[in-house]
Amino acid sequence: MSDNKPLIGFVVVEIGHSVAAPYAGMILADLGAEVIKVENPEGGDAARGWGPPFVDEMGPHFNAFNRNKQSIAVNLANTKQRDALKTLILERADVVICNLRAGSADRLGLGSEALLKEKPALVYCELGAFGSGGLLSHKPGYDPLMQAFCGIMSVTGENQSRPPIRVGVSMVDMGAGLWSVIGILASLLKRKETGNGTRIETSLFETAVAWVATPVARHMMGGGRQLPQGSGAAGIVPYQAFFTKSGWLVIGAGNDRLFASLCRVMGCPELANDPRFVNNAARVVNQLELIPLIEAFAAQFERHELADLLDQASIPNAPVQTISDLVETEHTQQIGLLQGPRGRETVGLPIRFNGKRPDFNSPSPSLGADTDRLFGAYYERQN
Q: Which residues are catalytic?
A: 173
Q: Is 255 helix (H, G, I), strand (E, B) or coil?
A: coil
Residue 128, CA distances (Å) to 39, 47, 149, 178, 320 in order: 18, 18, 15, 13, 34
Of the two residues 251 and 102, the one the predictor is more confident about is 251
What was the pLDDT predicted at 252? 97
Confirm if 278 and 224 have CB atoms less than 8 A apart.
Answer: no
Residues 115 and 281: their CA atoms lie apart, in Å, by 54
Secondary structure E strands in 279-340? 317-319, 338-339
Confidence class of residue 154 from pLDDT cuts 50, 70 and 90? very high
pTM score:
0.93
Give the whole-number percent of the chain exceeding pLDDT 70: 99
Tell me the mean pLDDT in the region 260-284.
Answer: 97
| pLDDT above 60 (res 1) | no
Confidence class of residue 342 from pLDDT cuts 50, 70 and 90? confident
Taken in order 83, 76, 115, 10, the sign of the CA dihedral is: positive
Give the start-to-end residue ranges of the domains of the chain.
11-211+337-382, 239-319
The answer regarding whether domain 239-319 maps to CATH 3.30.1540.10 reads: yes
- The type of residue at 29 is A
> Helix/strand/coil (H, E, C) string of 267-288?
CCHHHHHCCCCCCHHHHHHCHH
74-79: long-range contacts, CB 8 A cutoff, minimum separation 24: 74/38, 74/39, 74/40, 74/41, 74/371, 75/40, 75/41, 75/42, 76/40, 76/108, 76/110
pLDDT in tens, 158-175: 877 888 999 999 999 999
Confidence class of residue 92 from pLDDT cuts 50, 70 and 90? very high
Confirm if 32 and 7 have CB atoms less than 8 A apart.
Answer: yes
Residues 232 and 250: their CA atoms lie apart, in Å, by 9
What was the pLDDT predicted at 353? 93
CATH number of 11-211+337-382: 3.40.50.10540
Confidence class of residue 343 from pLDDT cuts 50, 70 and 90? confident
pLDDT in tens, 224-268: 989 988 899 889 999 999 999 999 999 999 999 999 999 999 999
**Phi, psi angle pair for 236, to nearest 5°:** -135, 125
What was the pLDDT predicted at 113? 95
pLDDT in tens, 298-309: 999 999 999 999
pLDDT in tens, 36-65: 999 999 999 999 999 999 999 999 999 999
